[in-house]
A and B are shown apart, each in its own frame.
Chain A
Amino acid sequence: MAEIVLEARGLTRVYHRGSEEIRALAGVSLSINRGEFVSFMGPSGSGKTTLVNLLGCLDNPTDGDLVLAGRSIFDGCKMLGERELTRVRREVFGYIFQNFYLIPTLTVRENVALPLAFYRKPGADAEVERILNMLGMGHRMEHLPGQISGGEMQRVAIARALVNRPEILLADEPTGNLDSKRSKEIGEILQDLNRSAGLTIVMVSHNPELARLGGRIVEMRDGQAYEV
Chain B
Amino acid sequence: MAIPISYNIRNLVLRKGLTVMTALGIALTVTTAIFLMALLAGLKHAFVSSGNPLNVLVLRKGSEAELTGGFDRSLFPTLTTLPGIAKDSHGEPMASGELVVVIVLPRKDGTGEVNVTVRGMMPDGLEMRPSAKLIEGRWFQSGQREVVVSDSIRRRFSHANIGDTMEFGKGAWTVVGVFDAGGSAYESEIWGDVNQEASDFDRREGLSSAYLRATDPVAADALKNRVSDDQRLKLEGYIETAYYAKQTSSGNVIEYIGWTVALIMAVGSIFAAMNTMYAAVAYRGREIATLRVIGFSRPAILTSFVLESLLLALLGAVVGILLVLPFNGMETGTSNAVTFSEVVFALRITPLVALAALAFALIMGFVGGLAPAWHAARQNILNALRS
A, B bound:
no
Seen from chain A, the residues whose Cβ lies within 8 Å of a Cβ on chain B are none
> Which residues of B does A touch, CB under 8 Å?
none
